A and B are shown apart, each in its own frame.
Chain A
Amino acid sequence: MIIRKLSGILSNFTNLSRVYGVLVIIVILAGMVSIPSLDYHGDRLYPKFIDRDSPLDPYDRGGIPFGTTTVAAEYPENSPYLGYITAYLTPLSFALAGATQHMGTTIVAHPGGIIDEILYATRGLDTVVETTILFVGFAVAAYLFRRRENE
């Protein structure tokens, strides 16, 4: 009887998102119980000191551009120039950082904003895939929109 009822729910694909949502909730609720037993290891990889007074907050990693800024990485031997460009700002970003306290919030608002080395070099493949996801999303939306126009 229960199996018949469950099969009835699962056979309707409009219930798909609901069934999946319930699954996610069950795992998250069960997982919440285990959260107090988890230890936090935030200091091991990509540590960052947050300086709220810096105009580059929260992207300020300190150091001088084209110097030897210490940046922690998983495999430093794979990034021989680690720390070289961390503090570099383009002339526009440099001017903005001098003029406003909120330069850090514009990281995506103008080209060549803050070059966060972890983001763009050490974990560069992540950034490439993230951008690809965005472009594929645009491609799908554009295709669907143009198809509607053609009909």
Chain B
Amino acid sequence: MFDQNIEGAELFALPFGDIVPFFSVYTATLAAFVVVFILISAFDRPERQLNIVFGGDAYYAKEIKESDTRFSRFMAIACGCATLGAVVTGDVFNFTLFAVLVGITNIAIVASAGNRHVLNAAFQYGIVAMIATVPLFGSAAIILATTGTLSIWTLAGMGAVPLLAKALLILGVMGEGIAPLYIGKAEIIRAQGAPFVLMIHFSSLLLFLRVTEIVLVI
């Protein structure tokens, strides 16, 4: 697997039954970014939204209580941990599970906003994330059925994975991360409490980087 251009050298592998998570130069770099963002989410203070009053030069900062952000902070950390799992796992089905976990924690971060407009976007996002589980798990099922294995270690360089499975995998991650469906995110970003909202963008970006690597390798 580590002879592929994208991976780089093998740094560490954890023999955990049939699921063998690994750090290559590529995944270790992604994992390092995730750890930094988890720490930012855990210790950062939420930003205060500035509202500008029309017709004048006045502006005011919304007061955000610590208790309001407790849930979104917890979910942002959970989202970071799920992203960490997704970037280091060495198994396709395990990756799809972590992707779903990222999706559901993202919904939670958005749903913790009280704004009705944001909640409407979160609802739409929830439906997309729910539909996305079909192509996501469908791709894992097709990979297991056609190759007899789910391990990225075994699948690497074989070229045995059908195009349909790869397309479904990308489509599934698209739905969980909604990275290309930015119109949903444009609404979501109105939610108060960055950097927790930022975690949504960050996790979907990393999911995409990881799925690109998986699709190129298998």
Question: Is B94 on the interface with A (CB-CB < 8 A)?
Answer: yes
Residue of A nearest to B104 (CB): A136
A38 within 8 A of B: yes
In the complex, A92 Cα to B124 Cα: how many Å?
45
Give the docked Cα–Cα distance between A12 and B182 (Å). 11
Measured CB to CB, the closest approach of chain B to A3, in angstroms, equals: 15
- Return B218 CB to nearest CB of chain A, in Å: 15
Q: Are A43 and B148 in contact, with the CB atoms below 8 A?
A: yes
Task: Provide the residues of chain B in CB contact with A34, threshold 8 Å.
Answer: 162-164
Which stretch in B1-9, B39-47, B130-138, B191-199 binds the other chain?
B130-138
Interface string of B90-122 (1 = CB under 8 A from A): 010110011011001101100110100000110
Interface SS, B side: helix
State whether B187 touches A13 (Cβ < 8 A).
Answer: yes
Pair A129/B97 contact, Cβ less than 8 Å: yes
Q: Is the CB of B85 within 8 A of A139?
A: no
Residues of A near B142 (CB, < 8 A) are: 38
Closest-CB distance, B175 to chain A (whole angstroms): 6
CB of B156 within 8 A of chain A? no
Chain B 122-154 near chain A by CB (<8 Å), digits 1 or 0: 001101100110110000001011111111001
Q: B149 touching A44 by the CB < 8 A rule?
A: yes
| Contact stretch, chosen from A15-23, A56-64, A104-112 | A15-23
Q: Are A140 and B131 within 8 A (Cβ)?
A: no
B146 and A38 within 8 A (CB): yes
Q: A5 at interface (Cβ–Cβ under 8 A)?
A: no
The stretch from B12-20, B23-31, B53-61, B204-212 touching chain A is B12-20
Compute how far the CA of A111 lies from the CA of B183 in the bound complex, rounded to whole angstroms: 45
The A/B interface has a contact count, at CB < 8 Å, of: 150
A122 located at the interface, meaning its Cβ lies under 8 Å from any Cβ of chain B in the complex = yes
Q: How far is the CB of A46 from chain B (nearest CB, A)?
A: 9
Bound-state CA distance A122–B93 (Å) is 13
Known: A16-B181, A17-B124. A38 touches B97 (CB 8 A): no
Partner of B17, one of A20, A39, A78: A78
Instruction: Check A41–B148 contact: CB distance below 8 A.
Output: yes
Q: Which residues of B contact A78 (CB under 8 A)?
A: 15-18, 20
Contact B18 A27 (CB under 8 A): no
Q: In the complex, A137→B108 CA distance in Å?
A: 9
Q: Which residues of A contact B134 (CB under 8 A)?
A: 24
- Given the complex of chains A and B, what is the CA–CA distance between A32 and B75 in angstroms? 38
In Å, the complex CA distance between A46 and B163 comes to 24
| Chain A residues with CB under 8 A of B178 | 16
Give B residues with C-beta under 8 Å from A. Answer: 15-20, 71, 75, 78, 82, 85, 89, 91, 93-94, 97-98, 100-101, 104-105, 107-108, 111-112, 114, 120-121, 124-125, 127-128, 131-132, 134-135, 142, 144-151, 154, 162-164, 167-168, 171, 174-175, 178, 181, 183-184, 186-187
- A interface list, Cβ under 8 A from B: 10-14, 16-17, 19-21, 23-24, 27-28, 30-31, 34-35, 37-45, 73-75, 77-79, 121-126, 129-130, 132-133, 136-137, 139-140, 143-144, 147
